[in-house]
Amino acid sequence: MLLFLLGLAILIAGYFTYGRLVEKILAPDDRTTPAVALEDGVDYVVMPKWKNMLIQLLNIAGIGPVIGVILGIRFGVIAFLIIPVGNIIGGAVHDFVSGMMSLRHNGANLPELIRIYLGKKFYVCFSIFMSLVLMLVVAVFINVPAKLISGLADKENIFLWVVAAIFLYYIIATLFPIDEIIGRFYPIFGGLLLIGTFAIFGKLMFEAVQEPAILSESTLFAAAKFTSAGNMPLLPMLFVTIACGILSGFHATQSPLIARTMKSEREAKATFYGMMVLEGVIAMVWAAAALAIYNSNILLMKVNPNTVLSKITEHFLGSGMGTVTILSVVILAITSGDTAMRSLRLSLAEIFKVPQTKAVTRIIFCLPLVAIITGLLIWSNQDAKSFGILWNYFAWGNQVLGAVTLTAATVYLAKGNKCFLITMIPGMFITFVVTTYILWISPAHGGPVGCGLDLQVSYIIALVVSSAVSGYAIWKSRKES
In tens, the pLDDT along 83-140 reads 999 999 999 999 999 999 999 999 998 999 999 999 888 888 888 888 888 888 788 7
**Mean pLDDT along residues 412-428:** 96
Which segments within 216-339 are labelled E, that is strand?
none
More confident residue, 305 or 389: 305
Domains delineated in the chain:
2-393 (1.20.1740.10)
Burial degree of 274 (CB within 10 A; 0-12, 13-18, 19+): buried
d(CA 58, CA 419): 30
pLDDT tens digit sequence for 86-101: 999 999 999 999 999 9
CA distance 65 to 243: 8
Q: What is the pTM of this model?
A: 0.89
Indicate the pLDDT class of residue 155, thresholds 50, 70 and 90: low
As a whole number, mean pLDDT of residues 236-254 equals: 88
Residue 200, CA distances (Å) to 75, 284, 309 in order = 22, 11, 12
Confidence category of residue 384, pLDDT binned at 50, 70, 90: low
Q: Which of 40-54, 198-212, 369-383 has the lowest mean pLDDT?
A: 369-383
Query: pLDDT: is 323 or 288 the higher one?
Result: 288
DSSP code string of 157-199: GGHHHHHHHHHHHHHHHHHS-TTTTHHHHHHHHHHHHHHHHHH
pLDDT tens per residue across span 289-345 = 999 999 999 999 988 887 888 888 888 877 666 666 677 677 777 777 777 888 888
Specify the 3-state DSSP secondary structure of 243. coil
